[in-house]
Amino acid sequence: MALLSKKDTALLTDPLADNNPITIQVLGICSALAITAELKASIVMAVSVMAVLAIGNVVISLLRNVIPSKIRIIVQLIVVAALVIIVDLVLKAFAYELSKTLSVFVGLIITNCIIMGRFEAFALGNKPWRSFLDGIGNAAGYGLILIIVGFFRELLGSGTLLGFKVLGDPIEKTGLYAIGYENNGFMLLSPMALIVVGILIWIQRSRNNSLIEEN
Amino acid sequence: MSKRTDSNSYTVIFAVIMVLIVGSLLAFFASSLKPNIDENKRIEKQQNILYAMGINENNESSANFVSTNKAGADFKKYIKKQIVIQGDKITEDENAYLIDVKKQQAFAKDGKDRKLPLFIGEKDGVTFYVAPILGKGLWDAIWGYVSLDENMVVQGAYFDHKGETPGLGANIKERFFMDDFIGEHLMSDTGVFKGVTVAKGNNDPKNEDKTDYEVDAIAGATITGDGVSAMMKSDLKLYVPYFNSLKK
């Protein structure tokens, strides 16, 4: 038996495109707007969410038959908060440098609606292995959008990528700046992230008409 | 159809057990890891102070501290004296760097004399005076260490934050921002304390004018920048009497 059946593979690949958490399910928009001013922050967030969502999905899935339905949202919230806080404490104790980089994201991860959304929509009704794959797949789809948005915002807003000055130096007027190009400071602000995400949704739907809802 | 898990008593019992388990798990982790975390924080303070003095392992663009296992020895080697200023009293205290600035700020608010720690270091025959500062950013606390010469000209600065927005306010701990402070004057020629303002209209992107009491702001990080300006002013101003007394 193959490790991944056809259905399992779909769990991993669907969220990358036709069932993308951000552009189709509209989950995780807030953090996609907040932290994509730089490519590096986007990547860190994508990786962190992948770890938390995959593990969280498994935990919720294991508990799915014992969680009382009346308080399931609270239980989900506590599971994810406890997980993230424990990881944060362990990092602070043994990998302090890394934890400094991640600490800002802790709050953003706990409140990220993609996590609650996938717990609620998938992990509560599926077995652990499938929930794990769903977590990885959705986090990858989420991360993909984050990285695309971060790429354009950093490139057009600061003229850099991962901190490297790819378009030249805006102060010394070298590279593109020598011929009068200027960074667009508006790209650094959240409204432009919304517009970039909007453009992505537009492109995706114009290429795949089945995604357009009927009125 | 009602399931076993729908009953009220099950829900209450589940909630109680879950809270007990999660609570004790968190308490266990928090208390058993506390010594390690405190030690890391202590070393970080030493690294911060050394960084502000220019003792670091910076490469071309990124800020890097001296390594954690070297920090303790370097701190002993370069920091010659740690003093605590309280009113007119000046005392030496070799653990002054552990003083909680937040607590001291609260004391000052209540009208009590706060302790002002100052770390006096020496590198290549030059004396540095490093002072801690603490303020508010957009989301949470921001703090830093500023090293000054005896005329209160900034020799180096290190800023950090608890939860500023990544890519925007969080950039106060990047070289391009911190390095702008080097060489800035805090006092006017006539001896009036001016501080350094993080200004949008600085019009000096290369930061050549060191006596304008301004550095370039970060686009999209206005409130964090204002927080840096505020703590540069309010906290460093308290040291003016000490620096005046050095000249006598």
**Does A166 lie at the interface with B, CB-CB under 8 angstroms?**
no
d(CA B83, CA B243): 13
pLDDT by residue (tens digit) across A46-75?
888 898 899 999 999 999 998 888 888 899
Check A188 against B220: CB less than 8 A apart. Answer: yes
Query: Which residues 102-141 on chain A approach chain B with CB closer than 8 angstroms?
Result: 103-105, 107
CA-angle at B121, arms to B117 and B123, nearest 5°: 160
Per the domain annotation, does B190 fall within a domain?
yes
Q: Which distant-in-sequence residues (6+ apart) come within 8 Å of B208 by Cβ?
A: none
Which residue among A85, A96, A104 sits closest to B26, beta carbon to beta carbon? A85
Does B140 lie in the same domain as B32?
no
Partner-chain contact A92 B167, CB within 8 Å: no
Per-residue pLDDT at A1: 46
HEC readout, B65-90: CCCHHHHHHHHHHHEEEEEEEECCEE
Between B153 and A111, the more confident residue is B153
Contact across the interface for A68 and B220, Cβ inside 8 Å: no
Total domain count, chain B: 2
Residues B95 and B200 in one domain: yes
Q: Helix A72-94 vs helix A113-121: angle between axes, to the nearest 10 degrees?
A: 130
What is the three-class DSSP state of B216?
strand
Which range of residues forms the domain containing residue B109? 79-247
Cα nearest neighbour of B64 on chain A: A97
Question: Per this entry, what is the length of chain A?
Answer: 215
Task: State chain B's mean pLDDT as an integer.
Answer: 89
Does this model's pTM top 0.80? Answer: no
Task: Average the pLDDT over each of A131-140, A205-214, B213-222 and give the range with the smallest value.
Answer: A205-214
Q: Mean pLDDT across chain A, nearest whole number?
A: 86
**Residues B8 and B124 grouped into a single domain:** no
In a domain, B69, yes or no: no
CA distance A149 to chain B (A): 13
Could you identify the residue written with the tokens 């910076």?
Answer: B58
Q: What is the ipTM of this complex?
A: 0.77
Q: Name the minimum distance, in Å, from the CA of A14 to any CA of chain B.
A: 29
Look at residue B185 and tell me if it is in a domain.
Answer: yes
Nearest chain A alpha carbon to B23: A82
Which residues 176-235 in chain B show a CB within 8 A of chain A? 205-206, 219-220
Q: How many CB pairs under 8 A join A and B?
A: 95
Q: Residues of chain B with pLDDT > 70: what percent?
A: 99
B205/A67 Cβ within 8 A: no
Q: Could you report the per-residue pLDDT of B117-145, keeping only the tens digit for each? A: 999 999 888 999 999 999 999 989 999 99
Looking at the predicted structure, is the pLDDT value of residue B36 above 80?
yes
- Residue B203 CB neighbours (<10 A): 10
Q: Residue B138: inside a domain, yes or no?
A: yes
Q: Of the candidates A90, A94, A185, which has its C-beta nearest B219's C-beta?
A: A185
Question: Per DSSP, what are the bridge partners of residue B134?
Answer: B143
Are B93 and B207 contained in the same domain? yes
Q: Quickly count: other Cβ atoms within 10 Å of residue A190's Cβ.
A: 18
Cβ of B166 within 8 Å of Cβ of A86? The answer is no
pLDDT at B51: 92
Residue B140 counted as domain residue: yes
3-state DSSP assignment of residue B187: strand
Dist CA A142 CA B130 (whole Å)? 44
What distance in Å separates the CA atoms of residue B40 and residue B61, rounded to the nearest whole number? 25
User: CA A70, CA B7: separation in Å to the nearest integer?
Assistant: 9
Residue B130: name the closest of B245, B247, B243, B248 by CA. B243
A174 touching chain B per CB within 8 A: no
CB < 8 Å from B in window 33-62 of A = 34-38, 40-41, 44-45
Instruction: Give tens-digit pLDDT for A146-184.
Output: 999 999 998 998 888 887 888 888 777 788 888 888 888
Residue B146 has pLDDT above 90, yes or no: yes
For residues B30 and B116, membership in a common domain is answered with no
Please give the pLDDT value at position B1.
46
Pair (B32, B88) in one structural domain: no
* C-alpha to C-alpha distances, A53 to A16, A80, A134, B235, nearest whole angstrom: 15, 8, 9, 42
